[in-house]
A and B are shown apart, each in its own frame.
Chain A
């Protein structure tokens, strides 16, 4: 989230799209209701299905799953053609005036520089034109035909109401209703927020879905302001923290890129990963990257990290350089490919259930059989721990050696987690771990300690990173937190905690396991434990609690808040001020850096994390295009979509094993769109909540929500058992026939959509098994997040039940 949960109350218009907030973040909905009741805010829900969120929205707009770019592209077109954008904001705080170089073009669904063999673009073609000093060429009058705002205008001019309606299945009236309501926030004294979640990310165009909201929110001047922003409602308990600490192949903690094979030295790493800019008002915060990587290495290897050995840089693994869409991608999609082929021999699965919650489950379950060994930490047995005796599997043929460590519940350990608004919150230990269970931290410490001892005693292949590791004896959350925060390793302050990331250095004099968390626990205070509700009147106005817990970065509660003021530092909306320049200093929230407002001497641009300091209406960072473009999901009921001849995202990541079958476009065998989702009463794959009797009582069996129209066509009645089939698998479910699912009118014909939760698995008898046996291993090219939200299926009445019996 750029903003935070309470801030939703400050909005004038809440666009919930790609999220079912009331069902999946139920408690946050109090702030949506507050905006509605106290500000008279309009709440809009755009989603394929009418849900509990829609029930409390002012209006629900059903949209065919996978057509969000068309929907939002129509809004961008509406803003630009009707001059609905916030002129001062766009002019001063975005790259609207930047001129795109002459090489760039867009032709029939492809941007310049696409290589169909590698499925990669050469992004050099998308760059901005520069002058002789290396500065970006701009046209402040916004007249130049190749300046960003005119490029946008041209690109999205194809997204007419009629065309968007034709492809999304949303009526023209409904499109206009949403566009009018939301774009009314493009004024200084109005704010609109976008709440999204997995409904946007889980598509082969996931990141570009989100980019559309970036463009809309910048055009309307809604970034940085109270009641605005782009708010990813993070899905999991500590997914914000686990992402910040980067349990992800491509980054090290604090979003430092993974070293790659073409970065043989630390110097080369710094050079290749540190952005440079010639824009004089840009803070370009990532220029500090060298300080963060060196401090990380120093924390990682302790005193064994020295200037002479590049702080142990070469003891870290290096990924391959992406030469095609799949090289150098070590994410789930390719982990499962390699596991199925037997290239991966062993490993660990910790508190996650891939045999239930990854797409094309039949394949993943098969892949696990090819491992030599697997170690797991879990609180309950689930479809992954017990895959070796799943229905239809003969344990006597499964070699995989399994080690299952019982892990304890959060209430049985202390530590911190980070909520979606980046608040870092301390939790305490209420009781001892049950039985012989332990914290996952303790289990990992013990296993590694044993491995390190073996290397110390016996030697072995490339033992350096292990024997030089700055490791722990036992799990002490506060000690680890201190290492994460960072401390001085030499000099007069040696042994003292750093107070913030500005104290981190690139010479080895500081260590920090995550620069973003610098300031969370100092010598004075564990700020994550703070519980004070003290606020200034200005903070109270918008619900900022600076003394409750601590928030990264530097306790800043609203990101990009320098964009909430005009170039003189005065709030766009004084009644909803986030920060204000008093003439000498800033008051309110912690500003994005202390520099004076933009119009003053030494003033800086507001988007400090972006290289050029300005919001990117056109961005050169993504792999699949500088502007979003509609493509159909990998499996689609359509043969063409009318925006271009390019049916799917040309850069999409695809699994290619024999088990990864994909239906042809408009395959008559699979004419129905399936979308999948969570359910309020269960948690994701469900292995914890299915084992809580009162939650299983509330949602007891796998169901499929279908429209009355489709039910009538197929002769299915409410409560009937049905079979849902895709190219990859077949699933039993109970039909829930409902007015909440509506058939879509697309290209003049009816397209049906059905929806299923994925929380039900075979380890609980009679409740059904993985919905993901139907879904497809196709991923967004930027993130590799799979397309859970749209694939093609068929449905029929079942003669008998086995999985539901």
Chain B
């Protein structure tokens, strides 16, 4: 088996069912958030050890039209996870790959990774995903609701999504779905694209050029990097 998510942001309404359902399933406490000095619907402002998932909001005006893009951000469960490269250098198999799904799992052993090691993992991750619980030292992020998936359920964020933005299944099926949706969405959004679909298990479809999203929405420009190499 090889699982993947397909996240179709063209269908997302930012209801944040996924963000909150994830917290509820994981039984995480809330962060103390504020609007003072922040002034945005994006709360909490960023991923943290109690939010495996944050819906990011980007608004802009183009051609006299207002756009408001939503991006339910989470770990991409890379096929070849750089975080594991970094983690293994510190504590072997603190980060593992689940055999059944391909999920990247941060185990209890991440507790033994130093703060420097954690920062390295974070630096390695093209998507800036890993977070550390400063009290326990555990490094964490989305675990694909592995126990649900093994029992035949979909991850809770997928289960909760009302509009079909969140999808989950066999990677081949998700890739096919992603391509189908991309073709359909391109009619309205010529700039629509899939993000890093060849290297991740969480495939995003975005409707606008990548610079209309947050900095870490996709991997740094691989083509350019390749030419530099």
Contact = CB atoms under 8 A, between A and B. Distances in A.
A–B direct contact (CB < 8 Å): yes
B130 interface: no
B35 interface: yes
Contacts of A737: 39
A52 B36 contact: no
Contacts of B15: 22-23, 26-27, 29, 52, 680
Contacts of B164: 30, 33
Nearest to A21: B13
B13 to A, nearest CB: 4
A700 B43 contact: yes
B229 to A, nearest CB: 39
B30 interface: yes
B13 A29 contact: yes
A789 to B, nearest CB: 21
Interface stretch (B60-68, B89-97, B141-149): B60-68
A748 B103 CA distance: 60
Given A693-B29, A734-B39, A739-B61, A701 B34 contact: yes
Interface in B7-54: 11, 13-17, 19-20, 23-24, 28-41, 43-44
A52 B14 CA distance: 7
B162 interface: yes
Given A681-B16, A699-B43, A30 B34 contact: no
A763 interface: no
Contacts of B220: none
B100 interface: no
A703 B30 contact: no
Contact of A33 (B34, B38, B163): B163
B20 A29 contact: no
B68 A55 contact: yes
Contacts of A26: 13, 15, 17, 162
B177 interface: no
Contact of A52 (B13, B29, B37, B39): B13
A804 B38 CA distance: 13
Contacts of B61: 739
B59 interface: yes
Contacts of B106: none
Contacts of B71: none
A697 interface: yes
Nearest to B14: A52
A680 B16 contact: yes
Interface string A708-737: 000000000011110000000000001111
B163 A696 contact: no
A455 to B, nearest CB: 48
B9 to A, nearest CB: 10
Of the listed residues B24, B36, B61, the one surrounded by the most CB atoms of chain A closer than 10 A to its CB is: B36
A739 B60 CA distance: 7
Given A697-B33, A718-B39, A736-B35, A60 B13 contact: no
A420 to B, nearest CB: 15
Interface of B is mostly: loop
A52 B68 contact: yes
Contact of B20 (A30, A50, A694, A719): A694
Secondary structure dominating the interface of A: mixed
A54 B69 CA distance: 11
B184 interface: yes
Given A60-B66, A738-B59, A30 B163 contact: yes
A56 interface: yes
A740 interface: yes
Interface residues of A, number: 42
B70 interface: yes
A189 interface: no
Nearest to B162: A27
A56 B188 CA distance: 12
A693 B41 contact: no
A279 B28 CA distance: 65
Contacts of B19: 698
A701 B35 contact: yes
A696 B66 CA distance: 27
Given A37-B184, A700-B33, A740-B59, A694 B23 contact: yes
B163 A29 contact: yes
Interface in B108-137: none
A600 interface: no
Interface in A730-754: 734-740, 742
Contact of B36 (A681, A699, A719): A719
A434 interface: no
A34 to B, nearest CB: 9
A698 B14 CA distance: 11
B36 A701 contact: yes
A30 B66 contact: no
B142 to A, nearest CB: 16
Given A29-B13, A740-B59, A50 B68 contact: yes
Sort A-B residue pairs by CB-CB distance and give the 6 closest, nearest first. Answer: A693-B30, A26-B15, A719-B39, A734-B35, A697-B30, A701-B35
Interface of A: 22-23, 26-27, 29-30, 33, 37, 50, 52-56, 60, 680-681, 693-703, 718-721, 734-740, 742, 801, 804
13 contacts: A22-B13, A26-B13, A27-B162, A29-B15, A29-B162, A33-B11, A50-B66, A60-B66, A694-B20, A698-B20, A699-B41, A700-B35, A719-B38
